[in-house]
Amino acid sequence: MHVAMFTEHFHKDPSGPRLSAIQIARALVRLGVRVTILNLGPRTRIERVEGVGDVIHARYTWKVIPVRYGRHRFCARQLHAIHRRDPIDCVLAMGTWVGAGAALFSERSGVPFVLNPRSRIAHKPGDWKYDHDVAVANACHAFVGVSETEVAGWCAATGITRDDRFFAVLNGFDATVLDGDVEPPPGVPHDAPIILSMAMLRKSKGQHRLMSALDTLEDLRWFAVLAGGGRGGDDEWVREHHAKMRLKDRVLLTGTVTGAHWRWLYHHADIFCLAPVYPEAGGNAYLEAQAAGLPVITSSGGGNVELVCEDSAIVVPRGDTMTADIAAALRKLLGDAELRKRMGDAGRERAKLFTWDRAGHGYLEAIEFARSTAAARG
């Protein structure tokens, strides 16, 4: 069986979309599936990825045509080009823009497609982008959400009745990524408990809530590292919030960290805190933190709570009291090293449950469902 995985953000390195695409593809290959990864990126090129093969990067060149009318046609054309060389049995579309291309390709070729939107539906009724997303979700032969929360959120937001074509497949984690050389990022001290937050700098990720909570903990020993890049207004807004802190000298914004610096932070941190202010679909950082033995503080209502457990995490409610609740959770953990250890040990066991092979089986089930559904439709 030949599966074409079409993704939108594979070229961003490092990134969650790239990591998950590679690991899901490798898991499918181990299950006997041939996978071609096609990426909608900034330039046209071929990339070789170990355990998968060639990744085809296609640059969107139809600039004179508005994205609304041109992108899905461009994406469909890329799939047709692959299909002519090596017939595709199913398309796995990672994102709604490439999903629209997969829908058009499916309509013309009869090849089924599985949609993984990779996040909650971000648009509201009345917006053409909302209508676009609903149309793609209705057209797919199977739908994969990265958590039960994401699947339920899409059905609630679109009014689509959940049926057998909806699958919730949590991401996996390879703990060996924590092995290797370590080196402290510049500016991180060694004489205080380290609070780590690993995510892109965005309002939605809640770093401003964490910083506001830290500003109330002047009497305690701690140093916080907010590791992650950003772009545009969100990045600037979070950095401006940092500049207004009374205790800003005890909070370091590192930008994107990789390799030895990334591993050092997970190995030497004492607490992991990432509490989004919206119902996030899920996040690999929670698995990374648990595998590293860190107690977790997160927020309610998102797929993140499906990755942690009661013994490994403190879950604070989203809402008006969120800042105070984060501060209380930090105060509790900073004051109890034994509790941190117990939660960290529970987290290590929890993270072991989430393997990429398990995720691969989930995607293969969705792919096989899509193919049988298409065959039944004739």
- What residues pair up with 5 in beta bridges, in sequence order? 37, 92
Cβ-contact 364, 31 below 8 angstroms:
yes
Cβ-contact 132, 107 below 8 angstroms:
no
Whether 39 and 81 map to the same domain: the answer is yes
Q: Residue length, the chain?
A: 378
Cβ-contact 176, 363 below 8 angstroms:
no
Whether 155 and 204 map to the same domain: the answer is no
Whether 133 and 203 map to the same domain: the answer is no
Whether 21 and 93 map to the same domain: the answer is yes
What is the rounded distance in angstroms from the CA atom of residue 17 to the CA atom of residue 281?
Answer: 13
Alpha helix positions (H), the chain: 16-30, 67-85, 96-109, 128-139, 148-158, 207-214, 232-243, 259-268, 284-291, 304-307, 322-334, 337-351, 356-377
pTM (2 d.p.): 0.90
User: What is the chain's alpha carbon radius of gyration, rounded to the nearest angstrom?
Assistant: 21
Cβ-contact 125, 156 below 8 angstroms:
no
State the number of CA atoms in the 13 A half-sphere of 294 facing the CB. Answer: 29
- CATH number of the domain that 230 lies in? 3.40.50.2000
Whether 114 and 195 map to the same domain: the answer is no
Number of domains in the chain: 2
Tokens describing residue 270: 């004492």
Whether 109 and 124 map to the same domain: the answer is yes
> Which range, 66-75, 232-241, 246-255, is most confident?
246-255
Whether 283 and 163 map to the same domain: the answer is no
Whether 183 and 40 map to the same domain: the answer is no
Summarised one tens digit per residue, pLDDT across range 27-45 is 999 999 999 999 998 999 9
Summarised one tens digit per residue, pLDDT across range 94-103 is 999 999 999 9
What is the rounded distance in angstroms from the CA atom of residue 36 to the CA atom of residue 49?
Answer: 11
Of 279, 292, 225, give the one whose Cα is nearest residue 256: 225
Domain hosting residue 301, numbered range: 175-351
Residue 1: CB partners within 8 Å, gap ≥ 6? 32, 33, 34, 89, 90, 367
Cβ-contact 96, 18 below 8 angstroms:
no
Whether 180 and 289 map to the same domain: the answer is yes
Whether 136 and 234 map to the same domain: the answer is no
- What residues pair up with 215 in beta bridges, in sequence order? none
Summarised one tens digit per residue, pLDDT across range 153-198 is 999 999 999 999 999 999 999 999 999 999 999 999 988 999 999 9
Whether 165 and 26 map to the same domain: the answer is yes
Whether 292 and 309 map to the same domain: the answer is yes
